[in-house]
């Protein structure tokens, strides 16, 4: 069965520094992978997706993610973090018939 894992409950980074939020996946076949962000008291918002093609995917708000098949990873990255990036980030994998399975979430805290 398809699944994703987010090994870090929280990531702390200083403003202006690069950030990485980790995600690994398990799937039989080719994965469809996604990142969503959740701000306080809001629903999940789509950031980016990997379906096929280039391993480096660019998304909203300056985020990007690198698909690595050999390491079964899909880490979310941003070259320079902003305080406003502080939020809860979810990795997700497509499990068929439009359904997604979400990871446990990683709380990103960007300190000024």
Partner 1 sequence: DAGVIQSPRHEVTEMGQEVTLRCKPISGHDYLFWYRQTMMRGLELLIYFNNNVPIDDSGMPEDRFSAKMPNASFSTLKIQPSEPRDSAVYFCASSSNELGTGDNQPQHFGDGTRLSIL
In whole angstroms, how close is the CB of 104 to partner 1 at the nearest point? 5
Could you say which of 5, 15, 73, 102 contacts partner 1 (CB under 8 A)? Answer: 102
- The CA distance from 85 to 16, in Å, is 11
Which residues neighbour 12 within 8 Å (Cβ) at sequence distance 6 or greater?
109, 110, 111
Choose which of 105, 106, 108, 110 interacts with partner 1 (CB under 8 A).
Answer: 105
Which of 28, 29, 54, 98 binds partner 1 (CB under 8 A)? It is: 98
Question: Residue 112 and residue 103: Cα distance in Å, rounded?
Answer: 27
Structure letter (DSSP) for residue 98: T
Binding residues for partner 1, rule: CB under 8 A, are 32, 34, 36, 41-46, 49, 51, 90, 92, 94, 97-105
């Amino acid at each position: 069965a398809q699944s994703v894992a987010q090994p870090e409950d929280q990531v702390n980074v200083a403003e202006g520094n690069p950030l990485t939020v980790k995600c690994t996946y398990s799937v039989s076949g080719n994965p469809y992978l996604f990142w969503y962000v959740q701000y306080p008291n809001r629903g999940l918002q789509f950031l980016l997706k990997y379906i096929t093609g280039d391993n480096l995917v660019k998304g909203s708000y300056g985020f990007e993610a690198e698909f690595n098949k050999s390491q079964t990873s899909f880490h979310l990255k941003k070259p320079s973090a902003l305080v406003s990036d502080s939020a809860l980030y979810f990795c997700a994998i497509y499990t068929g018939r439009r359904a997604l399975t979400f990871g446990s979430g990683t709380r990103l805290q960007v300190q000024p």
